Chains A and B, each alone.
Chain A
């Protein structure tokens, strides 16, 4: 899309979309939202960048080898966090009994493994949506 207004508006609102996506991911255990919605919002910013500036700069913003590493790394991190509970003698993905620091209710850094898992899942959802969009853009 070769349009000056779209490009300048995209460049202006891009950091706000990304900060809002990260906010929804990080505050997933406190406010409405979570990994899937926050990751989709973050991915929408990169999709918007690709639509406004073309496929090449969009792929330069998030190359395929990096997004595939984020994707596999997110799910492996999820499984490794779950295996901590197994290593300490509890079931898979145990939260409070396995000794994760629970913190004070209502803080960002609380609730044990929930923010960690939410962050990994959000990054994974983001890279999934972006990779799907870039792959389908390459096809046409």
Chain B
């Protein structure tokens, strides 16, 4: 019963996603809603505003710097989760595996 329910749910989701793909605007079309005045403003005024020729860096660290702070927080949260799950063993305490110190 549960498998049938899962199958029906996933099948319905597949139908919804596939039917919405056919409604997407064609890629690179000039009439797409992603080509609005914001991208034109970035291309025209970005170098004057930020003095950075690399427009992508100008966007991610100047116009969208708060979003980049969120990305850094995602990294921080991810590593906090990994360290809390796996754990850090401090190797300065156990001296007995010092002989596999393969330096040089």
- The 8 Å CB contact of B51, one of A74, A103, A131, is A103
Q: Which residues of B contact A138 (CB under 8 A)?
A: 86, 88-89
- The 8 Å CB contact of B57, one of A64, A105, A118, A125, is A118
Q: Which residues of A contact B66 (CB under 8 A)?
A: 82, 92-93
CB neighbors of B among A99-114 (8 A): 102-106, 110-114
Task: Kindly provide the distance from the CB of B55 to the nearest chain A CB, expressed in whole angstroms.
Answer: 10
Q: Which residues of B contact A56 (CB under 8 A)?
A: 91, 97-98, 100-102
Q: Residue of B at shortest CB range from A110?
A: B51
Judge if B79 is at the interface, Cβ distance under 8 Å: yes
Q: Knowing A79-B69, A132-B82 are in contact, say whether A124-B75 is a contact too (CB < 8 A).
A: yes
Complex Cα gap A8–B62 (Å) = 42
Judge if B32 is at the interface, Cβ distance under 8 Å: no
Q: Residue of B at shortest CB range from A131?
A: B79
Q: Please classify how large the interface on chain B is, using the bins under 10, 10 to 19, 20 to 34, 35 or more.
A: 35 or more
Judge if B83 is at the interface, Cβ distance under 8 Å: yes
Judge if B56 is at the interface, Cβ distance under 8 Å: yes
Chain A residues within 8 Å of B, Cβ to Cβ: 2, 28-32, 34-35, 53-54, 56-57, 59-60, 64, 71-72, 74-75, 78-79, 82, 92-93, 95-96, 102-106, 110-114, 117-118, 121, 124-125, 128, 131-132, 135-136, 138-139
Chain B residues within 8 Å of A, Cβ to Cβ: 47, 49-54, 56-58, 60-62, 65-66, 68-69, 72-73, 75-76, 78-79, 82-83, 86-91, 97-98, 100-103
Q: List 24 A-B contacts (CB under 8 A).
A: A28-B57, A29-B57, A29-B58, A30-B53, A30-B54, A31-B54, A34-B54, A35-B61, A53-B103, A54-B102, A56-B101, A71-B76, A92-B66, A93-B65, A93-B69, A103-B51, A110-B51, A111-B50, A114-B57, A121-B72, A132-B79, A135-B86, A135-B88, A138-B86
